[in-house]
Amino acid sequence: MDHFDTAQEILDAMLGYLGFAAKVDLDRESGTLNVTCAEGKLLIGHNGARLDEIQYLVNRVLQDRVPEAPKVKVDIDSYVASRDYRLIEDAESAAAGVIASGTPAKLEPMNSYQRRLVHHHFKEHPEIKTWSPGDSARLKRITLSLKNASKTSSEG
């Protein structure tokens, strides 16, 4: 039994103890435990808060059982997948505004997972660069700006 199987077992037992009839599927490639449940909204909670807590608990128990195991992700009724998709759509929309106006734009505050997603999305973008502050705040705002903005202003 590898760490993915252990994580799947932990989540399945946790949901069972809580009284939820759920199916837990494992996507080994992405390291995600996908939960299908009739009461998915209850498990997701407001803005995914309860889902984040479930993921945290699964990873804490997994680390206790298999200390070298990497963290796993938990998604319930494709909530995280659709939230990530919307996040990238919003960032793309803001980037289009930056390209059109030349003015940097700040995105909404995000946690580290969301920031990593946005930074990675724009990593190879020909016109947009991303930046977020290096402070210790849990939620930070990414700034989108033109890659050549500093070159243009120094040439004029």
Q: Which domain holds residue 20?
A: 3-77
Res. 154: pLDDT tops 70: no
Do 105 and 56 lie in one domain? The reply is no
62 and 72 in contact (C-beta within 8 Å)?
Answer: yes
Tell me the mean pLDDT in the region 45-73: 95
Domain with residue 17: its CATH number is 3.30.300.20
pLDDT band at 29 (very low <50, low <70, confident <90, very high): very high
Do 101 and 149 lie in one domain? The reply is yes
Predicted structure pTM score = 0.74
Q: How many structural domains does the chain have?
A: 2
Tell me the mean pLDDT in the region 15-28: 94
What's the pLDDT tens digit per position in 34-51? 999 999 999 999 989 999
CA separation for the pair 85, 89 (Å, rounded): 6
Domain with residue 141: its CATH number is 3.30.1370.50
